[in-house]
Amino acid sequence: MALIQIRHAIRDAIAEEMARDERVFLMGEEVGHYNGAYKCSEGLLERFGERRVLDTPIAETGFAGVGIGAAMCGLRPIVEFMTFNFSAVAFDQILNNAAKIRHMTNGQFSVPIVFRGPNAAAHMLGSTHSQAFEPFYAHVPGLIVIAVATAYDAKGLLKSAIRDENPVVFLESELMYSVKGEVPEEEYLIPIGKADIKRPGKDVTVITWGQGVPVALRSAELAAAEGIDAEVIDLRTLRPMDTEAVLTSVRKTNRAVVLFHGWPYGGVGCEVIAQIQEQAFDDLDAPVLRVCYEDVPMPYAENLENLVLPTAERGLAAIRAVTYRR
């Protein structure tokens, strides 16, 4: 096992897949000569050359469309957005082309493409650079949506995403690129669509993903100090969702909290709660609660940003509430 940062796990996954399959290439803003805005592509230009590591203009609609066309022609592009906030410019390409071409051509064309980059809030970036985009993409049939929180998951799931025949939206976190984790030195893949129990427990289930994972784990630690044993489930894949893993845990603990980075209204958290309510209602001993952003645009000022973000203390309060230990 090697102890590496998430950014290096992403780089290694891309490098291994580019070495394995000459159809794989990387394109995006500053991925080449600058080694990536967050150094996730460090050394790839030197190793693979300008035909396979392409610096693009700041024109997300254009290079997303080029990537989709390349995928339709048999290549396997990895398209990096410097931030997923910029992917909003490419919505038409992703939602109406990448997600629908396989359906609209009756399977004559597939679109094996990965759109990846940092998602959700970082630190003092303001409202237009702090949005969580998984609700937009998970809403659309035809897209796979993945959110990673560890180096192990980042590498194993990115390799699986690159090999998949469908378009994949791969969500990372600017704040977590430097977080280290153990990664096997031999090749491995993580299957898409499988959640992971990051912490076993018996009193309450905390469902989370992406940037929410370390917050949820800290909430569980605080709860443990009060004698509450929380199980933390990292969904990892948001579409398709591993509903069975969630239901199995909730049927064991009889209580659930959904903790995530994102707004409360109409998001992935709502879908998690709907699945629990529809399929495990009789197993619940308390209402399912959410811990997420406040329902406002993200402030720039640090003190105000801290009031909006989900925290371990807010997670603990929700755990107390569903276990009736206010």
pLDDT single digits (tens) 127-143: 999 999 999 999 999 99
Confidence band of 302 (pLDDT split at 50, 70, 90): very high
Q: What is the pLDDT of residue 45?
A: 98
> Among the options 129, 172, 261, 305, which is catalytic?
129
Which residue spans within 130-179 are E strands per DSSP? Answer: 144-147, 168-172
Domain 2-183 indexed as CATH 3.40.50.970: yes
H or E segment and range at residue 117? strand 114-118
123 in catalytic set: no
Percent of the chain with pLDDT over 70: 100
Confidence band of 12 (pLDDT split at 50, 70, 90): very high
As annotated, the residues of the chain forming the CATH 3.40.50.920 domain(s) are 196-322
Q: What is the pLDDT of residue 282?
A: 97
Q: Between the CA of residue 153 and those of 4, 6, 160, 211, what are the distances in Å?
A: 12, 9, 10, 13
Q: Is it the case that residue 148 has pLDDT exceeding 80?
A: yes
> 193 with 242: CB under 8 angstroms?
yes
Measured distance CA(272)–CA(235) in Å, rounded = 10
> Among the options 17, 60, 80, 134, which is catalytic?
60
Q: What is the pLDDT of residue 326?
A: 73
Q: Is it the case that residue 264 has pLDDT exceeding 80?
A: yes
Q: What are the tens digits of pLDDT across the range 188-217?
A: 999 999 999 999 999 999 999 999 999 999
Core vs surface per residue 195-230: b (16+ CB within 10 A) or e? bbebbebebbbbbbbbbbbbbbbbbbebbeeeebeb
Got the DSSP string for 27-82? EETTSSTT--TTSTTTTHHHHH-TTTEEE--S-HHHHHHHHHHHHHTT-EEEEE-S
Q: What is the pTM of this model?
A: 0.97
Over residues 112-119, mean pLDDT = 98
> 261 with 211: CB under 8 angstroms?
yes
Q: What are the tens digits of pLDDT across the range 151-193?
A: 999 999 999 999 999 999 999 999 999 999 999 999 999 999 9
At residue 2, φ and ψ (nearest 5 deg) are -115, 140
Architecture (CATH level 2) of domain 196-322 = 3-Layer(aba) Sandwich (3.40)
As annotated, the residues of the chain forming the CATH 3.40.50.970 domain(s) are 2-183
Confidence band of 51 (pLDDT split at 50, 70, 90): very high
302 in catalytic set: no
Over residues 282-295, mean pLDDT = 97
